Every structure is written in C-alpha cells, then in structure tokens.
Amino acid sequence: MAGLSSAVARGQFAAIAQVRWQLFVNSLRTIRGRLEMVSRVMLGFGLTMGGLGGAFGLAAASYYFTSHDQTEWLALLLWVIFLFWQLFPVVATAFTETFDSSNLLRFPLSYPSFFMVRLVYGSLDPATALGGLWLFGIWMGVTVADHRLFVPAGLALLVFALANILLARMVFAWVERWLAQRRTREIMGILFFFLIISFQFIGPLMARFGGKRHPDAARLTVFLLPLERLLPPGLAASALTHFSQGDFAAGLAFFGLLCAYTIAFFWFLNVRMLAQYRGENLSEAAALAAPSRLAKPGSKQKLAVRLGWNVPGVPGPVAAIFEKEFRYLSRSGPMIFTLIMPLVILLIFRLSPGKSGPGSEGFFVRAPDFAFPVGAAYALLMLTNLIYNNFGADGAGVQFYFVSPVRFRDIVLAKNLVHATILAFEMILVWTAVCFIYRPPSFYYTVTTIAGVLLAAPANMAVGNLLSIYTPKKFDFGTFGRQRAANTTAFASIGVQAAVFGIGALSFLLAYVLHKLWIATVLLLGLAAIAFVCYAIVLNRVDRIALDRRETLISELSRA
Amino acid sequence: MDGPAIITEHLTRTFGQLVAVNDVNLRVAPGQFFGFLGPNGAGKSTTIKMLTGLLAPSSGRMEILGVDLTANPVEVKRQIGVVPEGMALFGRLTGAEYLNFVGRMYGLDRLTAAKRTAELLEFMQLADQPKKLVTDYSHGMQKKLAMAAAVIHGPKILFLDEPFEGVDAIASGTLKAMLQRMISRGATIFLTSHVLEIVERLCSHVAIIHRGLLVAQGSLEELRAGVASQAAAALQEDGTPGAAPPAGEKLTLEEIFLRIVGGSRLAEQELSWLG
C-alpha cells in the first residue's frame, strides 16, 4: 500500500474530497438543495441521538459486565452490533447509499487509492456511524471499569469495527456480482421458492422441538456455542474476556483470529475491487451467446417479438408501463432482495433463540396475531423506496413520458398499480408464511390489517407521487446501496409512516378502551376511504404538477 | 394539410437573466427537411425541447400541424416523433421490449406494436442480440434504437436533436436512408446537427439561431443569396464595398454558417505546456 502515502495519492484524495464538498456547496444554490440539507441535518440529528443513546446504554452495560467479571456477556452486545451493522444497509435501503466511483477509473488512480476511496466513501453510511459510535461506547464502559483494558480493548474493538466494514462491503460486492446475471437471479428465485415451501415445515418442527426441553437440542446448543465464539463478535468478546482476566496469551490468540477474519474479508473484497479496478463490466451482455451463433450474416431469419402484456381492464399504455415496471424489477437483484426481506425477517424472528426460562419463545410466538400486521407493515415499508421515487429508475427515460401522448396521470397510475400489485402479493406471502411459521392470524386481525394497509397504501402513494415529482433522485437498480431516495423524501416518508402508524395505534387504543375491537377496523376503513379521496385528488393534479416541474424532473434524473 | 407544419410566434425562453431563445418566429412547411443550426449554446436544444413539450416556453406560441401545443399537448404528441438530446431510453429493457413499450404508449395494439418492433429492429440491424439490454448497447446502437422508437407510430413530424452525434458511417447511412424514405412519403423532419455536411446534403431548408436570436431562415439557395448580397453591401474598414463571392462559386453551408455567426477565432493565447 505504498502508493497511498505518495504525494500524488494524497493530492488525489484531497481532490476527491474537495470535489464532493464543491458538489455539496453547489447543491445549496437551489431551494430543493437547501431543503435536502435541512432534511439531512434533521435525519442526522435523529441518528446521532439514537447513536448516542445506544452508546451510553452500551457503555453502561459493558461497564457492568466488566466490573462484575462477566465479560463473556460482552459477546451479546457485540453480536447485536454485528447484526445491525450487516443487516441495516439491506433492511433500510432508504438510508444507505454507496459512492459511485466508476468515474474515477479514467483518472490515473493507483489501485490502493481506488480501494481506499471505495472503502472510505462506501462506509459513510448510518450503519458504520452508529456501529462505530456504539463500539466506542463499549470501549469507554470497559475502560472505565478496568483501566488496564484501555489499549487491548481499543485494539480489539478497532479490528472488530474494521472487520464489520470490510464484511459489509464484501457481501455487497459479491452479491451484486452474483445478482448481475440473469441466471443467478433465477437461481435465487428458485431458492426463494424453496424458502416459501419450507415455511410449512417450520411450524410443525418448532411445535415438536421448540416447546419442550430436548436433549438433542441441548447437545446441539452445547456444540454451537463454541462455534459462536469462533465468529468475529465471539472472538472480539473472548479476546476482551481473556485480557480482563490477565490471560494475555489467550487474549492475543483470539485477537489474532479476529485479525485473520479481517484479513480474509479484506482479501475477498480485494478480489472484487481488483476486478472493478480493471474495468469489469457486470452487464448481462457478456453472458450472452456470441452474435454469430444467433444470426448468421445474410441469413433471413425472422425476428420473433413477443406480444406485450395484456392487463385486463386497463388501457394499452397503462399495461405497457405495468409490464415495463415489472421487467425492471425482475432485473434488479437489490430490489428483489429488498422485497423478500419481510419473509426473511419473519423467519429470523421465529428461529432466533429467546432468553432462557419461562416465556423463552419470541414475541410473535407468544402473540402470533401480531405477526401478520407487523409483516404487512414491514412489506409496505420496503416498498416505500419505490413509491416515494416513482421515476428514480427511469433515469433519462423520463423524457419519453413528456414527449409521449400519454397523460402523466395515467403514467403515475400505472406505476401505483404495480406498487399495489406487489404489496398485495407480499401481503399474501406474509399471511401464508405467518400461517405456516406461527398460526393462521385470526379473522379480526386479518381484516384489521387489511384495513390498515388500505389506509396506509393510498396515503403513502398520494404523498409518494408528489415527492416523486418534487424531489426525484436517480436510482441505479443494479447496484446495492444506490436506491436511496432524496433526504427530503426520506424525511417526509418518516413523517407519513409516523402519522399512519399513530392513527392506527389510536384506533386500536379507542377500540380497546371501548372493549369493542371492531371499532378499530371500522375506523381504519373510514380513514382509508378518506385516504383514497386524497389519493384521487393528487392523481388528478399530477398532470399539471408534472408539467410545471418537468425541468427539475428531467435534469435530476438525466444526470450521469 | 395546407398551412405550415410548424409555427412558432415570438417564442422566448429565459433562464433567470439569460435569454436562451429570444422572440423566435419559425415557419416550416409540410414535407420539408428542415435543419436548425447554431453554435454551442445558441438555443437549438432549448427550441426543440419547447417544440416537443420537454420545456415550457416563457412566452410565445407554438403550433404543430395546426394544433396549439400548449393548449393541446397530447393531440400534438400523437402526431410527432422525437429523438431528444438524452435519447430517453429505458436502459434495463431489451431493444425489442423498449420498442414494444413505445409502440403501445403511442396507442398501437399489441400485435401491430410487436410486428413493427420486429421490422424496425431488422431495418436498424439491431436484431442480432435480442436479449441484450439497452444499457449494454453501444452509443450508435442506442441512437438507432431511439430513432426506431421515434418512428414506430408513423409520425407526421419528426424532431431530431443531434441524431448523427457519435454515430459511425454505417449507422449514419442507415439513419439517413430512413429519414429520406420518410421525407419521400410526406413527413416533415426538424433536425439539429453540428455536422453541417450532413445537413447540407439532407435538408432543403435551414434556419440559424445565434445567441437565442433567429438570424437566418430559408432554403439553402436563399441563404447563399442573402450572404452574397450582405457581403457586397458591407463596407470594408477602408470604406470600399466588400467583395461578394465570385460568380459561379457556390458557398458551402459551412461557409454560410461561419459568415453568419461570425466564424471561429484562433486562440491567441499559447498553451506552452501542451508541447
């Protein structure tokens, strides 16, 4: 990595930082840019508060564990941070953005510099900021409890942080590579299908093995626990435990293993980065058969073009947009990944080990009726990326909508139709999964959840349609971490979710106080009707708004 | 259609203090191959964007095929085809999917859209790799696809913003053949281009915009005559009349263009570090 310290490399880093700063300053010239800045500050404030709160809590917990000679419990804290660090970028894509450094390749940037730029700018996300802050809290707690651990704990946690950063980047880089090809996406689809099929076995299995003490399960736990200690969070915790006990040799051994993991993550990431540095093209074209095999020069083979989709009850242009949107989604690994997350989360909740003792099952096992509403709400949240940035994936193609003889109202309607279809499909999947994993939700909870979604969906779509036009942001459907909406959009979306969930909670509270649960359903259905009216009003005004805002929309989405 | 295919009256567009298009009055007759020329930043793309509904004018009026564009944009858009500056492609569709999509957006039924898609892909020599995504097309292939998309519904007027930019000789030949075929069938083509040789070869009428103002408009012969008479009328620095081009010498479009917009100025400043 000698190249990193050269004057040229330092100059390049400074130039990149300066150009990013200049881009930020220039963005403040417009009202939209200034709104983005305000939203960023407010979101940043919220995250900082959460991060600081978490850091204080973790500092207190680690102080307690260290001062009471229970440092092995630090593993629990480190596992929580580890899972957050790795899962947050996937489950909260609206807040995660990776830096597109492909343009850097035309400059004489050395590979170490390229690697560092990708790593540093790619790590400027909430997961890294919060994870780092929380690890700092643990370090403080451990150090205050035992001053001797200042350096060893600092080193172990620093390497643990590095391992997290490298692992997150590595997983993204490799998954992106695999999902870039149609064949691997199909394989993933098949695996997903098996996952759905397997749900029906989870319920009976958990019913058989989960409710009672089973000697085999106990033996398995005894077998698995040491394995846990061989993974990065366990290794970091073991190193801290041994350092605190004065057993520096064992502590160094665990620390060494943690370093080995970090180096392994670095190596795997390095393989992908090197390929990108050498100008790798992840497009599907490379995987296609050579043209000569498909059509011989001079041959008069007639090209067969499939008919477009026929969507019953909708006009041709709306059906065409419907088809186009689904084709886009089916070719986006990151979006498919995002859309299956609700099911994965349900599964994680079911399989995650609970606390020992009575009531050791997870929350949904004790209250299975809530699994469907929570799963449905999560499915809706996963869709907000699309709903709040309708035209993000269209890029420069958005110009076509303005030159085509189709009203913007119909275009937006078609896109919302796609969102509604996906949401309905996800709801059915979640309901089915809940039936197999937990138990079928009661009729009341099913109907009330549907009523809640009928309120939330049009409310989100109405606001989403407006924000898609007022604060658009270009998406890259093929790359992880490039589906982030504008900060203003993300901020407004949080407000809408808070309002919708607040209204839902109030409805339930009222029903609970009056001892008449059906009141919540009726209230939600009534509010859903109002939301539909609002949605219709927005939809009927979309034409004028889009024409007024066309310059912003086109220039923002046509950016290179 | 008796009246002009395209009319603009006092068409103006400002961006803050900058007047990008200033009081432009255009007349394009039906069936004309019309070249709209100007130096970089003159207002060509801004004009074509306004004429195709991509940009709102600050003031003025536009009429396409007798229909007011501002009052009835959808009716106008049904009858025109556009290749805008950024080509307006959807990168994650295949060429066939894209053309099919565009055809249906213009109201073609599924069967007709699929049939025309196949024909256009064959004509544009894009049928070789049917599963290739548009984003993986070369620049020239994308231009051909954008052109195919612009004509799939059989428009009466075609607006083309720099259709030959970055296109190789083979692709350029294909595009020109298609445009000439359209002209022979009575379509009107409004084209901007920096490649003046192509404009000279293809276009029957030309307009030149400079710093937002329309400075010349007419057939090539009319422009030549105008330049010659202007040159003869202009007084030189010593007060003697200027020299008109010698009789029989035919000015090229490039010469006409340079005379009208002021020509190029060689950089006086020496860039010593270039070697």
* A393-419 pLDDT tens trace: 888 899 999 999 999 999 999 999 999
On whether any CB of chain A is under 8 Å from the CB of B72, the answer is no
On whether any CB of chain A is under 8 Å from the CB of B96, the answer is yes
Alpha carbon of B245: minimum distance to chain A alpha carbons (Å): 44
Host H or E run for residue B37: strand B33-37
- Residue A357 pLDDT greater than 80, yes or no: no
Interface-testing mutation among A399, A406, A482, A559, with chain B (most B C-beta atoms within 10 A): A399
- Residue A119 pLDDT greater than 80, yes or no: yes
- Residue A538 pLDDT greater than 70, yes or no: yes
Alpha carbon of B241: minimum distance to chain A alpha carbons (Å): 48
SS (H, E, C) B108-145: CCHHHHHHHHHHHHHHCCCCCCCCCEHHHCCHHHHHHH
Which one has a higher pLDDT value, B183 or A107?
A: B183
Please tell me the predicted confidence (pLDDT) of residue A355.
47
A-chain CB neighbours of B112 within 8 Å are: none
CB contact under 8 A, B96 and A306: yes
Distance CA A137, CA A52 (A): 8
Please tell me the predicted confidence (pLDDT) of residue B113.
93
Please tell me the predicted confidence (pLDDT) of residue A526.
93
Interface-testing mutation among B54, B104, B143, B157, with chain A (most A C-beta atoms within 10 A): B104
How many CB atoms are closer than 10 A to CB B247?
Answer: 6
Q: Which two tokens stand for residue A246?
A: 């004065």
SS (H, E, C) A359-398: CCCCHHHHCHHHHHHHHHHHHHHHHHHHHCCCCHHHHHHH
B86, B105, B122 member nearest A320 (Cβ) = B105
Span B179-196, mean pLDDT?
90
Please tell me the predicted confidence (pLDDT) of residue B231.
64
Please tell me the predicted confidence (pLDDT) of residue A6.
77
Contacting A residues, span 296-315, partner chain B, CB-CB under 8 Å: 302-308, 310
Please tell me the predicted confidence (pLDDT) of residue A265.
94
Span A7-23, mean pLDDT?
80
Please tell me the predicted confidence (pLDDT) of residue A291.
45
CB contact at 8 A, A427 and A456: no
Please tell me the predicted confidence (pLDDT) of residue B100.
92
DSSP label at B19?
A: E
String of DSSP letters for B136-179: GS-HHHHHHHHHHHHHTT--SEEEEESTTTT--HHHHHHHHHHH
- Residue B12 pLDDT greater than 90, yes or no: yes
SS3 B188: strand
Answer yes or no: is B109 within a domain.
Answer: yes
Please tell me the predicted confidence (pLDDT) of residue A218.
63
- Residue A12 pLDDT greater than 60, yes or no: yes
Please tell me the predicted confidence (pLDDT) of residue A295.
43
CATH number at residue B24: 3.40.50.300
CB contact under 8 A, A320 and B53: no
On whether any CB of chain B is under 8 Å from the CB of A317, the answer is yes
Instruction: Give me the sign of the Cα torsion angle A388, A394, A399, A402.
Output: negative
Distance CA B45, CA B55 (A): 10
Answer yes or no: is B246 within a domain.
Answer: no
Answer yes or no: is B234 within a domain.
Answer: no
CB contact under 8 A, B90 and A477: no
The residue segments making up the domain with residue B53 are 6-218
Report strand pairing: B59-64 vs B157-161: unpaired
Please tell me the predicted confidence (pLDDT) of residue A206.
58
Span A442-454, mean pLDDT?
90
* A477-499 pLDDT tens trace: 666 666 667 777 888 888 898 99
Q: Which two tokens stand for residue B251?
A: 């000015």
Please tell me the predicted confidence (pLDDT) of residue A209.
58
On whether any CB of chain A is under 8 Å from the CB of B31, the answer is no
Provide φ and ψ at A363, rounded to 5°.
-60, -45
Answer yes or no: is B163 within a domain.
Answer: yes
Host H or E run for residue B78: helix B73-79
Which one has a higher pLDDT value, B61 or A385?
A: B61
Confidence of residue A425 (pLDDT cuts 50, 70, 90): very high
Answer yes or no: is B108 within a domain.
Answer: yes
* A121-147 pLDDT tens trace: 777 788 888 999 999 999 999 999 988
Please tell me the predicted confidence (pLDDT) of residue A2.
46
Provide φ and ψ at B214, rounded to 5°.
-80, 115
Please tell me the predicted confidence (pLDDT) of residue A560.
63
Please tell me the predicted confidence (pLDDT) of residue A78.
92
Please tell me the predicted confidence (pLDDT) of residue A111.
84
pTM of the entire structure?
0.76
Please tell me the predicted confidence (pLDDT) of residue A4.
65
Please tell me the predicted confidence (pLDDT) of residue A302.
61
Distance CA A460, CA A463 (A): 5
Mean pLDDT of chain B: 86
Q: If you search the block for the tokens 């417009």, which residue do you land on?
A: A30
Please tell me the predicted confidence (pLDDT) of residue A259.
95
Host H or E run for residue B22: strand B18-28
Answer yes or no: is B230 within a domain.
Answer: no
Q: How many CB pairs under 8 A join A and B?
A: 140
Span A524-528, mean pLDDT?
93
- Residue A97 pLDDT greater than 60, yes or no: no
- What number is the ipTM of this complex? 0.85
Distance CA A8, CA A257 (A): 35
Please tell me the predicted confidence (pLDDT) of residue B265.
53
Instruction: List, in sequence order, every beta strand (DSSP E) within B55-106.
Output: 59-64, 67-68, 80-83
Interface-testing mutation among B13, B101, B123, with chain A (most A C-beta atoms within 10 A): B101
Q: If you search the block for the tokens 């003792």, which residue do you land on?
A: A357
Confidence of residue B81 (pLDDT cuts 50, 70, 90): very high
CB contact at 8 A, A215 and A451: no
CB contact under 8 A, A558 and B86: yes
Answer yes or no: is B83 within a domain.
Answer: yes
Q: State the total domains in chain B.
A: 1
* B121-153 pLDDT tens trace: 998 888 887 788 898 898 888 999 999 999 999
Give the residue among B203, B116, B101 at the shortest CA–CA distance from B154.
B116
Contacting A residues, span 377-406, partner chain B, CB-CB under 8 Å: 393-400, 402-406
% of chain B surpassing 70 pLDDT: 89
- CA angle at residue A425 from A423 to A430, to 5 degrees? 90
CB contact at 8 A, A47 and A130: yes
Distance CA A389, CA B35 (A): 38
Distance CA A431, CA A81 (A): 30
- Residue A286 pLDDT greater than 60, yes or no: no
Largest CA distance in chain A: 83
On whether any CB of chain A is under 8 Å from the CB of B67, the answer is no
CB contact under 8 A, B77 and A405: yes
Answer yes or no: is B198 within a domain.
Answer: yes
Amino acid at A467: L
Please tell me the predicted confidence (pLDDT) of residue A232.
92
* A204-215 pLDDT tens trace: 565 555 555 556
Confidence of residue A292 (pLDDT cuts 50, 70, 90): very low
Please tell me the predicted confidence (pLDDT) of residue A478.
65
Mean pLDDT of chain A: 81
